[in-house]
Amino acid sequence: MKHLTSEQVSAIVAGWSNHEDEQLHATACPVCAAEIDRLRKALTLFRASIRDWSENSSQTLSNVAQFPGQGQLPDRLHPRRVAWVLAAAALALAVAVPVYHDVRERELKAQADADYQLIESVQSHLSRTAPVAMQPLIPLVSSLESDSDSSAANHRDQE
C-alpha cells in the first residue's frame, strides 16, 4: 500500500478514521507514523499556545477592570471615547469609498478612451489603399484615373 495522504493522516489524528488498513499502515510504516506524530505534536503546541494566550488575555482584562480609580476603565477605553473613534472611522470610510469609486471610474474611462483611440488608429492604418511611402502618389493616380474615366465617357458619347 502507498503512504497515507494528508487527509488520511488528519483523519487518524482527529480520530475519524474507521479504516483498519489505514491504521495498520500508520503503525507499520515509519514514514507515516512519523508524519502522524509530527501533526500530533504541532496540534499539542498549538493547543498550549492558545491556552497561554487565553490566560494572558483574561489576566489583562482583569487588570483593566481593577484599574486604579474605583474600578473604572481608563479614559482611553471609555465607551464614549470608543464610540467616537468608531463613528469617526465609519465617517472616514463613508467618504473614502465614493471617492475611490469616482477615481476608479475616471481611470477606467481614460483607459477606454485610450483603447478606442488605439483601435481607431489601427483601423485607419489597415484601411489605407497604399503603403505610407506611396501616399503622396495617390492624388496623381486619382487624377489620372479621373482623366481616363472622363475620356472614356467622351469616347462613348461620340459613338
- C-alpha cell, 33: 507514523
- C-alpha cell, 66: 481593577
Confidence at residue 112, expressed as pLDDT on a 0 to 100 scale: 94
User: Please, which pLDDT band fits residue 117 given cuts at 50, 70 and 90?
Assistant: very high
Annotated domain spans of the chain: 1-72, 78-129
Residue 21 confidence (pLDDT) above 90: no
* pTM across the whole model: 0.36
Q: What are phi and psi of 133, to 5 degrees?
A: -65, -25
Interval 40-69 mean pLDDT: 69
Interval 104-131 mean pLDDT: 86
User: Please, which pLDDT band fits residue 147 given cuts at 50, 70 and 90?
Assistant: low
Please provide the average confidence, as pLDDT, over all residues in the chain.
76
Q: Own/partner pairs for 133-139, CB < 8 Å, 24+ apart?
A: none
